[in-house]
Amino acid sequence: MLILQTVNELKEWVRDTKKAGDSIGLVPTMGFLHEGHLSLVKKAKAENDKVVMSIFVNPAQFGPNEDFDRYPRDLKRDQELAEGAGTDVIFAPSVEEMYPRESQIQLTAGAQADVLCGAKRPGHFDGVLKVVTKLFHLVEADLAYFGQKDAQQLAIIESLVEDYNFPMAIRRGETVREADGLAKSSRNVYLSGAERNEAPHLKKALEMGKELVLKGQDPIEPMTKYLTNHTSGVIDYIELLDYPTLTTTIRQNAILALAVKFEKARLIDNIIFHPKGN
């Protein structure tokens, strides 16, 4: 496995790889890898000749009071895990390498960013669009892989690729969970022991909410009560929307999504399902 840290090294590798006729799958990450990331690498390995994983904690997507500085980082551990899952190249640039000057052009997410995390984290998805646009151009990937745990991010990136004709396709990866239902996340390490024991109730609340939706009932209030009774966290949002449009009129699939703030970790989770139960 190669570890590349500069744009020039990456471009050279991409040029050689394309010349050899090999397809490239990209798995963008912020590191501190867990099985969710590794399942994306395995999917990418099965569908492409070469797999590039980017590891870059992107300052552009963190708000001023968010956890950029204390976001967990462990490149050595990440290298071992990435290689074990079949990654061919890790691209791990510095902030200066990725953003050598202040951008003169800004990318802004549309209405899909007005709900859920986008409503709570102003500018977050603009920062995600900024970094993935650069990564897509640098890596010239045929396919790029994103997990469904970050369902809003996935929907917005699919819009970017569709609206601006990026010559590539996005692949969705299922949310990977712990045995007790907690969605895997790099931020789970922030949970205290007591919070970790409460955290599986997020998935339980979603399952309960889904059953109510299938019965034609409004899930928000019962889910709010359930989470308030079973966790010490503060509910940031619980929303039921159409997926992937993220509008309030459910036409295709429904997404039931929530965010709960614990002492040091803000956890998100969701389930996507057909509102008629098919």
- In 3D space, the residue among 51, 136, 135 whose CA is nearest the CA of residue 98 turns out to be 135
Residue 169: what are its φ and ψ, rounded to 5°? Answer: -130, 155
Least distance to ligand PAF, CB of residue 120, Å: 15
For residues 145 and 243, which CB has a smaller minimum distance to ligand PAF in the complex?
Answer: 145
| Counts for the chain of helices (H) and strands (E), in that order | 10, 9
In eight-state DSSP terms, residue 222 is H
Pairwise CA distance, residues 61 & 58, whole Å:
6
Interacting positions 130-189 with ligand PAF (CB under 6 A): 131-132, 150, 153
For residues 146 and 226, which CB has a smaller minimum distance to ligand PAF in the complex?
Answer: 146
Q: Which of 48, 58, 148, 159 binds ligand PAF (CB under 6 A)?
A: 58
For residues 133 and 224, which CB has a smaller minimum distance to ligand PAF in the complex?
Answer: 133
User: How many beta carbons lie within 10 A of that of residue 226, not counting itself?
Assistant: 18
Length of the chain: 278
Cis? peptide before 244, omega within 30° of 0? yes
By CB under 6 A, tell whether 39 contacts ligand PAF.
Answer: no
Is the Cβ–Cβ distance between 258 and 202 less than 8 Å? yes
- In 3D space, the residue among 59, 115, 81 whose CA is nearest the CA of residue 249 turns out to be 115
Least distance to ligand PAF, CB of residue 154, Å: 9
For residues 30 and 89, which CB has a smaller minimum distance to ligand PAF in the complex?
Answer: 30
Phi-psi region of 23 (alpha: psi -120 to 50; beta: other; left: phi over 0): beta
By CB under 6 A, tell whether 25 contacts ligand PAF.
Answer: no
Least distance to ligand PAF, CB of residue 108, Å: 16
Q: Which residues are annotated as a binding site?
A: 30-37, 61, 147-150, 153, 176, 184-187
By CB under 6 A, tell whether 61 contacts ligand PAF.
Answer: yes
Helix (H) or strand (E) holding 133: helix 124-139
Least distance to ligand PAF, CB of residue 53, Å: 10
Q: Which residues are annotated as a binding site for ATP?
A: 30-37, 147-150, 176, 184-187
Q: Where does this chain touch ligand PAF (CB under 6 A) — which range of 25-33, 77-85, 167-175, 248-256? A: 25-33
CA angle, residues 34, 176, 56, in degrees to nearest 5: 40
By CB under 6 A, tell whether 93 contacts ligand PAF.
Answer: no
For residues 138 and 223, which CB has a smaller minimum distance to ligand PAF in the complex?
Answer: 138
Q: Where does this chain touch ligand PAF (CB under 6 A) — which range of 24-32, 41-49, 73-81, 108-116? A: 24-32
Is the Cβ–Cβ distance between 269 and 206 less than 8 Å? yes
Whether 37 is catalytic is: yes
Q: Which residues participate in catalysis according to the annotation? A: 37
Residues in contact with ligand PAF by the rule CB under 6 A: 28-30, 58, 61, 128, 131-132, 150, 153
